[in-house]
Amino acid sequence: MQNLAIPATARTPAIDFDFGNNRLKLSGESYPEDVTEFYHPVFSALDAYLAALGPGSCRFDFELIYINSSSAKAVMMLMDKLDAAAAKGATVDVYWFYDEKDDTMQELGEEFGEDLENIQFHLEKTPD
């Protein structure tokens, strides 16, 4: 399966889906003008990958600095997809990295983690 790599812009995060090594990453800031347009290919690639993953294992890193409300909803949808794959037998580790001075991203990570039933969720500080 072809990897997905989208470089970051001022308003959109970097997407680095290395499907061959089962390492997926989303990092940077996210406040696109059109959230649906930006995240649509990301969802599609993840759906295809997870459908083929079966009982395999993967790791997804979130390393976000700033997200707007629409992007937060998109992130929750990504996590739901990962959680659903884990419910079907995949081993999924999600790492949520946040700046140690950023209470907003820490709280958000904590709450996202609470929603996940089948995933191994890891909340990690990134040093300044």
Partner 1 sequence: MSHDDLFAGEKGVIATGEQLVADNSFSSPEDKQHYEELLKSYEKLFRVTRRLMRLSDQNEQRLNAAAEVIAQKNKELEALSTKLSKYLSPQIYNSIFTGAQSVEIASRRKKLTIFFSDVVSFTETTDKLESEELTNLLNHYLTEMSRIALEFGATIDKYIGDAIMAFFGDPESKGVKEDAIACVRMAIAMLRRMRELRSEWRELGAERPFQLRIGINTGYCTVGNFGSADRMDYTIIGNMVNLSARLQSHAEVDGILMGHETYSLVKDVVATDEQTPIKVKGFAEPIRCYKVLGLYDDFVREGQLIREEQEGFKFMLDLQKRDKQEAITTLEAILARLRE
Q: How many residues sit in the footprint of partner 1 (CB under 8 A)?
A: 12
Site string for partner 1, 50-69 (x = CB under 8 A): ----------------xxxx
Taking residue 112's Cβ as centre, other Cβ atoms within 10 Å add up to 20
Q: How far apart are CA 56 and CA 13, in angstroms?
A: 27
For partner 1, which residue of 76, 84, 116, 123 counts as binding (CB under 8 A)? 76
**DSSP tally for the chain: helices H, then strands E:** 3, 6
How near is the Cβ of 56 to partner 1 at its closest, in Å? Answer: 27
3-state secondary structure 74-125: HHHHHHHHHHHHHHCCCEEEEEEEEECCCHHHHHHHHHHHHHCCCCEEEEEE
When the beta carbons of 76 and 123 are compared against partner 1, the nearer one is 76
Structure tokens at 118: 């089948």
Contacts to partner 1 from residues 27-46, by CB under 8 A: none
According to CB under 8 A, which residues from 81 to 120 bind partner 1? 104, 107-108, 111, 115
Question: Is 74 a binder of partner 1 (CB under 8 A)?
Answer: no
Interaction site with partner 1 (CB under 8 A): 66-69, 72-73, 76, 104, 107-108, 111, 115
